[in-house]
Structure 1
């Protein structure tokens, strides 16, 4: 009987030390539920496929629109500055750089573990006038322009070395017919300005990925011109790692087939491909082959602003289908695409409202003017996780 008493006591001891099965089961059940729970935001839904990026404007970076920044933190894992890193903003007067907003932009990306894209180092537009003039107001020569390009790139890329992962080194140097744009850079340096820019950026940060970026890349002649230019750079040993396809598209242009041909053509160059500046205007176009030539401007007419108060349901449905079709294409080629970047956070701060006709109301992005996700956001999450 004594032995039985000891045995019973030991049994009770071990039963008392055993973990509570119900709590353990609940914890395991919670873990399974969390693992199987469907993502509710874009960046998580697209994880492992490509980065989901957005452009930030100065007011957002400076903290004036916290609700918009919450959208950014929730749905995006890559950011690019819409304007504050362009030379006209960084150094409006010679040797007088102002990095205040750009520094905040980079810090925001680092604070929220985002991939930061630099935009843009050399661009014919939004370059300050002094860049091409001497102190007397006369046009500088080839040697001086080379020095200024190198100095600017070394200053900017050097400041963010190791912090900005990817850069648009040269922006929009090719025309729709495939020829090189006769910009001030080209007029003084010829096509060598592109080589100079990429080599200097690589020297400033050897670990940064360097991109060429352009719009209307689905136009066959332009696509072929960009491919020719890049092949020539590659043959010269110029460090170029990626190409950005600006995605300023409309409801009926470009054809998806041509957009796909461009993805394939650029990827065949053994380069990373990014869809940059993506938005879909729902407004009528004042020209036949609309691209993204920033200097274009047309007179306002009421018939060119058909939805000043609200977008009709039928147009909303068409917008959702158009956007979904593009993302189906992106997912089809996810092995070739590094990132997709929306050009803005919500409809209210999109440049499309004022270009190429000022004062219009457009609806080109994934979030409405109240920062609420449009139905397309849920559609894209479903598409990416099915």
Structure 2
């Protein structure tokens, strides 16, 4: 590799390492994400179809080495795992769980109730009572299948509008707001030991944050178990602010629940119309201005990305007692959904591993940050 290509890595390490004491690596504990963060929180990744099927042994080995938790990117969503009313497709989900067990990982299920990527047969049910019964069976059957094997679930995904009110989803229209509490109740009755989460994007925004807190508190006030709130970290180089991220963690933790950063990626590309979040129904037309790094990421942006990850992980480490899991939404840049959202056909660089599964400057930066954090703790 040419020295020029190493520049972002060297710069990023230098930025976080100034003033850092030496920390010796144990020969039995190489400096992987999994090992370095093992005393802080689970470090996870969302896996795609090929990764779950272990089509590349080198990639599979990297996943097992670097991550202590996994989430299925798509194969456990309704349209894939329950395509027909009387037909479940458990094959891929079984492989996903088996992979996690093989590498002794924390296994997270995504997702039981979501209005998007919903099986068409749900929409064909007109009677509200029949719809509620079908929804209950969907939840109970899937949780039963993986009882004792999946350690946590996104029970309900993206049920809120940006102003904190409930989204007019098919579940709200057919079942009323009771569908929220009922979904958590059904899952907890089947597997009382699994952790149950509410998961959503833009959870750092004040109005949505307040709505999420009201909603979760309302469920808990009924004596129904909610173990955690998932903050989807679909963030950018400049926003949300670190203050918004930190205050959100504090506010959710005040409920007495765990906080998970569930879908972390940092877009480096221009954002059309200041779009925030992950509303997948939105798409914009591609153009040169919105896709500036087709040939590769400039060193200056590589360093900005590393610094952004460093600053965010400083917040995470400061509040590691409140955070259960940090999950990247993908393993490498080529896999990222941000290559197609909110503009199709772009080239984005939001994760810690590049398109060849090589660690980027951001990877080295947060490893160095965690070592410095541990060194400072041990010296106090």
* TM-score between the two structures when normalised by the length of structure 2: 0.90
1:253-272 mapped onto 2 (5 Å cutoff): 253-272=239-258
Verify the 8 A CA contact 2:49 2:75 in the aligned structure 1: yes
- Report the counterpart of residue 350 of structure 1 in structure 2: 336
Structure with the bigger RCO (C-alpha within 8 Å, sep 6+) is: 2
- Report the counterpart of residue 371 of structure 1 in structure 2: 357
Q: Choose 1 or 2 for highest CA Rg.
A: 1
2:348 to 349, 354, 362: 362
- Report the counterpart of residue 159 of structure 1 in structure 2: 145
- Distance in 1 (CA, whole Å) between partners of 2:115 and 2:273 is 22
Q: Does residue 328 of structure 1 match 2:319?
A: no
- Distance in 2 (CA, whole Å) between partners of 1:159 and 1:93 is 17
- Report the counterpart of residue 65 of structure 1 in structure 2: 56
How far apart are 1:37 and its partner, in Å? 7.9
Q: Does residue 53 of structure 1 match 2:44?
A: yes
How far apart are 1:35 and its partner, in Å? 4.5
- Report the counterpart of residue 94 of structure 2 in structure 1: 103
- Distance in 1 (CA, whole Å) between partners of 2:54 and 2:104 is 18
Helix, strand or coil for the counterpart of 2:197?
strand
> What residue ranges of structure 2 are gaps of 5+ in the alignment?
1-23, 373-380
- Distance in 2 (CA, whole Å) between partners of 1:40 and 1:91 is 40
> What residue ranges of structure 1 are gaps of 5+ in the alignment?
1-32, 135-139
Q: After superposition, what is the alpha-carbon deviation per residue over 1:137-180, rounded to whole angstroms, capped at 9, x for unaligned?
A: xxx22211111111011111100000001000000001111110
Q: Does residue 233 of structure 1 match 2:219?
A: yes
Q: Does residue 314 of structure 1 match 2:296?
A: no
Q: Does residue 90 of structure 1 match 2:81?
A: yes
Q: After superposition, what is the alpha-carbon deviation per residue over 1:298-331, rounded to whole angstroms, capped at 9, x for unaligned?
A: 1111211000011001100111101111001100
1:124-135 mapped onto 2 (5 Å cutoff): 124-134=115-125
Verify the 8 A CA contact 2:45 2:330 in the aligned structure 1: yes
Verify the 8 A CA contact 1:71 1:345 in the aligned structure 2: no
Verify the 8 A CA contact 1:244 1:274 in the aligned structure 2: yes
Verify the 8 A CA contact 2:307 2:365 in the aligned structure 1: no
Q: Does residue 287 of structure 1 match 2:287?
A: no
- Distance in 2 (CA, whole Å) between partners of 1:219 and 1:304 is 25
Verify the 8 A CA contact 2:25 2:31 in the aligned structure 1: no
- Distance in 1 (CA, whole Å) between partners of 2:314 and 2:28 is 23
- Distance in 2 (CA, whole Å) between partners of 1:39 and 1:261 is 34
How far apart are 1:34 and its partner, in Å? 6.7
RMSD: 1.3
- Report the counterpart of residue 5 of structure 2 in structure 1: none
Q: Name the count of aligned residue pairs.
A: 349
- Distance in 1 (CA, whole Å) between partners of 2:74 and 2:25 is 39
- Mark the CA change 1:38 to 1:91 in structure 2 (over 3 Å): closer, same or farther: closer
Q: Does residue 201 of structure 1 match 2:192?
A: no
- Distance in 1 (CA, whole Å) between partners of 2:287 and 2:364 is 35
- Report the counterpart of residue 118 of structure 1 in structure 2: 109
Helix, strand or coil for the counterpart of 1:279?
strand
